[in-house]
Amino acid sequence: MARQRADVEADVRAQAERAAAGEELPLLGRLVAVKDNIDVAGLPTTAGCPGVAWTPAADATAVARLRAAGAVVLGKTNLDQFATGLVGTRSPYGAVRSADHPDRISGGSSSGSAVAVALGIVDLALGTDTAGSNRVPAALQGIVGVKPTPGLVPTTGVLPACRSLDCVGMFARSLPLAALAVGLMAGPDGVDALAARPVPADVAAPAPDAPVLAVPRADDLAALDPLWRSAFDATVASLHAVGWTLREVDLTPFLGAARLLYDGAFVAERYAAVGALVDAAPEGLDPVVARIITAAGALPAHRYAADLVTLAELRVVAEAELAGADALLLPTTTHHPTLSEVAAEPVAVNSRLGTYTNFCNLFGYAAVAVPVDAGVPGERVGVSVLTRGSADGAALDLAGRLLAVAGPRAWEVLDGAPGSAAADGAAAVGGLAAGASAGATRAARAARAADPVRA
C-alpha cells in the first residue's frame, strides 16, 4: 500500500527544511516501509485482513520516532494475516514471493517488509517478531534483521499477536543502519506498560575482544536441509579458522521452549489479542489463521499456568548450558520452501521454519539475523546471533564481526563490502549507541516539556 506521491514528496521537503534549519536528523533521506499491523497516521491498518481495517489518527511510537529522525514513510507492506505465520502466504492480498526466487516463499510474517528491502525499494522496513518474523524473512531474502530485546522498543500502535512476546524490529541491507534505527526507536513512551523500563545504560556495550560463542551439537541440526547444514558448518569453520572460541551446547532446553510457543498454551495469547476479530468472521479471513486462533481460544487457563512453570524450568537449564558463553550462534531457519510446498502442508512447513527462532522471545533474548555464504550462487542462507536480554550491543557487535569473515558472497545485496571484523562490529555497536543516545535526548526534552518547573 503505497502513499500518494504528492504526500511522500511533501514529507521529503519537510524533512529537508528541518535539516536546513539545523535539526540533527540521523535518518535524513532514508525511505521506510511499515508492516501493515503497525499504525501510520492516515493510512489504513489491515493486519492482512481487509474486514477489520481502520485508519489511525496517530503513528505508532516506532514510526513516529523514525519520522522524527528524518525518515520518510513510503508505504505499508503485506504480511501473514494478524502476524500469524513464518511463510508470507497467509494473506488475502496474495502471497509475497521471494525477491530472488519467485517460486519460493518470502518468509513471514513480515514478508512484504523484507522483500521491499531486498529489492532496494526502501532503505529500512519495520517488522514485528513474536516467533521469528523479523529473522526468518531476513534469512530467506539475504538481508539483515534486528530483533531487539523484548520491551526495548514500545509496541504502542501495533496490533498485538502475542502481547507479552511481541517485538518491533528492523530490516536493512546495512547492519549499522539497522542498529541506528533500533536505537532511535528504543525507550519508554509512557504508554506501553511492557516497555516502561528505561533503556539500560549498557545496552550498546560490545562483546568482549575474545568472545566465547556457543554453537549447537551436530544432533541439534537435524532439521536443516543439506544446503543450510553445509552453509552453517562452513560458517562455524570460518570462525574457528580466524581464532574464535566456539563451544558446543545442547539445544534440548531451547528447542523444548520453542515447541511450547505453539504446541503449548502460549498460543492462547493470540486469541486474547485478536480472537474477537476472528470470531466476527470478517471479510478476507484466512482459513489457516482462523483455525489457529480459534483453537487457541479453547485452551484452559491451567495449561497456561503449567507452561509458565515449564518455561521457567527450561530457561534455567538453557542458561546453565550457556554459562560462560557471550552469545549463541544458530541457523536462522531450516530451509527455503516453495509456494507449492507451503500450500500442501501449511502448518507443518511453518512449524519447521520456526525451529531455531520460536524460543527467543520466551527467553527474553536479543537476536540479529545476518546472511552468510550459501556456497551456491543465487542462494540465500542466514544465521542468527542471540544474546541474553539487554545485551543487544553484543549481538550486533558479534554479527558485524561474523559478516566480515562469512564470505564475500554473503554481501551481494548488502550496502558496502566487508571490512575488518573489528570495524564491522564496532560500526554496528556505534549505530545502536548513537540511536540510543538520541533517544535519551528525546526523552529528556519530553520530560522538560512535561514539567518545566522541575526541569
Q: How many CA atoms lie within 13 A of 310 on its CB side?
A: 20
Contact 48, 78 (CB under 8 A): yes
Spatial separation of the C-alpha atoms in residues 66 and 30, rounded to whole Å: 10
Which among 286, 359, 224, 311 has a CA at the least distance from the CA of 84? 286
DSSP-derived secondary structure letter, 149: P
pLDDT in tens, the chain (455 residues): 889 999 999 999 999 999 999 999 999 999 999 999 999 999 999 999 999 999 999 999 999 999 999 999 999 999 999 999 999 999 999 999 999 999 999 999 999 999 999 999 999 999 999 999 999 999 999 999 999 999 999 999 999 999 999 999 999 999 999 999 999 999 999 999 999 999 999 999 999 999 999 999 999 999 999 999 999 999 999 999 999 999 999 999 999 999 999 999 999 999 999 999 999 999 999 999 999 999 999 999 999 999 999 999 999 999 999 999 999 999 999 999 999 999 999 999 999 999 999 999 999 999 999 999 999 988 999 999 999 999 999 999 999 999 888 754 544 445 555 455 556 677 778 878 887 787 666 666 665 665 545 44
What does the alpha-carbon distance between residue 389 and residue 148 come to, in Å, rounded to a whole number?
A: 9
- Cα 71 from Cα 27, distance rounded (Å): 5
Domain covering 5-249+316-450: architecture: Alpha-Beta Complex (3.90)
Which DSSP category does 79 fall into?
-
Provide the 3-class DSSP secondary structure of residue 251: coil
Nearest C-alpha neighbor of 264 from the set 221, 295, 220, 223: 295
| pLDDT score for 454 | 47
SS3 452: coil
Provide the angle, in degrees to the nearest 10, between the axes of the packed helices 421-450 and 392-405: 150
Tell me the Ramachandran region of residue 287: left when phi exceeds 0, alpha when psi lies from -120 to 50, beta otherwise.
alpha
Question: Crossing angle of helices 175-185/392-405, nearest 10°?
Answer: 170
Question: What's residue 431's pLDDT?
Answer: 78
- Name residue 341's amino acid: E
Domain boundaries, the chain: 5-249+316-450
Q: In sequence order, what are the beta bridge partners of 179?
A: none
Phi first, then psi: give them for residue 222, nearest 5 degrees. -65, -25
The pLDDT value given to residue 45? 98
What grid cell was written down for 258?
520453542
**Element at 308 (helix H, strand E):** helix 301-322
pLDDT at 430: 82
What cell numbers appear for 326 in the block? 557471550
Tell me, what's the pLDDT at 439? 65
Q: Which active-site residues does the annotation give?
A: 35, 109, 133
Residue 220 CB partners (closer than 8 Å, separation 6+): 250, 251, 252, 255
Rounded distance between C-alpha atoms, residue 384 and residue 442, angstroms: 31
**pLDDT attached to residue 118:** 94
Q: What is the pLDDT of residue 160?
A: 98
